[in-house]
Structure 1
Amino acid sequence: MIPTLETERLVLRAPEMGDFEPFAAFYASERSKFVGGPLNREGSWRMLAMEIGHWTLAGFGRWIVDVKGGDKTAGLVGLFAPEGWPEPEIGWDLFEGHEGKGYATEAALAARAYAYDVLGWQTAISLVKPGNAASARVAERMGARPDGDFVHERHGTVHIWRHPGPADTAEGGMEAYA
């Protein structure tokens, strides 16, 4: 079962087929260029299926992020470690119109707390493509620091951002996992 996490402004919940339209709109847009897009609808469907399947295969994954008090889906944030990744990652993709509000940082901090407090991770990374300054700023706000590069067979060179370990973070606490 995929847990639901809550923050002050957001609900992180299981991805489902009803999320396909905002998911497909994101992957059809230029916003997805740093995460494997743009994609057509068939490619977007496969990406959504992969996100859902990641939970079954790995026991963790990325959540759909909804803004509380509305029906706005803000993006996809969480834990990711597919074949070919150097280490488990905390990743974030914000949908159109939700950037610049702190949602990526807020949701990613909740995901990191879950990884450390519930899953027992001792470290995590975030992979950021060169030129993705907004994503690098999120990693930096989370306390992550540059830790070299990784060359992925499909995505090319990406920058590794190393997150502080559980002993060095202030967030957490089981209230986030309501």
Structure 2
Amino acid sequence: MTSVTLNIPVVETERLILRGHRMEDLDAMVEFFAGDRNTYVGGKMDRSDCWRAMLRGMGHWAMRGYGLWHIEEKATGKAAGWAGILHHIDWPEAELAYALFEGFEGKGFAIEAATAARDYAAHNFDIDAPASLIAPANNRSLALAKRMGATYEKDAVVLGTACQVWRHPSSLIQAGTS
């Protein structure tokens, strides 16, 4: 049997670990995509669809050299969501994307993970000041982008879906390393 090794960096914050996908994350993804919190990140998916989504995520790391990390809560070891950089073939640019699983919201995990992903991308992937493509009705994501210092740039249509482009501030300028 041939195996492929991907070098997905591990990023740690005070309370979280951002890491590559693992088989044991599948059940948490299935639960997330079976519920109602998935409206703005692809809609409902069954177990097979979630499996394919995980494989696409791994392929993103292999093809682009960056992608989404699974968010793991350090205190419990539980999968809490994902955050990272996506740049699908038909998207206009790299996007900072994030989502939390049910039960992990309201603890500051989203801003902690998204900020860590944004900063890591600036310093290691040469992706500074990324955009977030946000559905106009996704109030939680809009609020998070604003808390992170992102500013509204324009309305857009990506893959036939209306969204707003929110531009995140430069992590390099904030760190004084530009």
Match runs of 1:15-164 below 5 Å? 15-154=21-160, 156-164=161-169
What is the aligned-residue identity percentage? 40
Counterpart residue type for residue 63 of structure 1: W
- 4+ runs deviating over 3 angstroms: none
How far apart are residue 171 of structure 1 and its match?
9.5
Give the CA deviation at 1:29.
1.3
How many matched pairs?
Answer: 171
Name the CA distance, whole Å, in 2 between partners of 1:6 and 1:122: 19
RMSD: 1.6
CA distance in 2, matches of 1:171, 1:161: 22
TM-score, structure 2 normalization: 0.91
The AA in structure 1 aligned to 2:112 is E
- What do the CA deviations read for 1:92-149 (whole angstroms, capped 9, x no partner)? 0100111111111101111111111111223300111121100011111111001112
How has the CA–CA distance of structure 1 residues 66 and 171 changed in structure 2, closer, same or farther, with 3 Å as cutoff? farther
Contact 1:125 1:162 in 2 (8 A): yes
CA distance in structure 1 between the aligned counterparts of 2:176 and 2:37, rounded to whole angstroms: 29
Tell which has more relative contact order, 1 or 2 (C-alpha 8 A, sep 6+): 1
Whole-angstrom CA distance in 1 between matches of 2:152 and 2:69? 25
The alignment partner of 1:19 has SS state of helix
- In structure 2, stretches of 5+ residues that fail to align are 1-6
For residues 80 and 136 of structure 2, what CA distance do their matches in structure 1 show?
Answer: 23
Equivalent position of 1:14 in the other structure: 20
1:169 to 165, 171, 174: 174
The answer as to whether partners of 1:113 and 1:171 remain within 8 angstroms in 2 is: no
Code of the aligned partner of 2:68: R
Give structure 1 stretches of 5+ with no counterpart.
173-178
**TM-score, length-scaled by structure 1:** 0.91
Whether the 8 Å contact between 2:122 and 2:172 is mirrored in structure 1 is: no
CA distance in 1 between counterparts of 2:128 and 2:74 reads 30
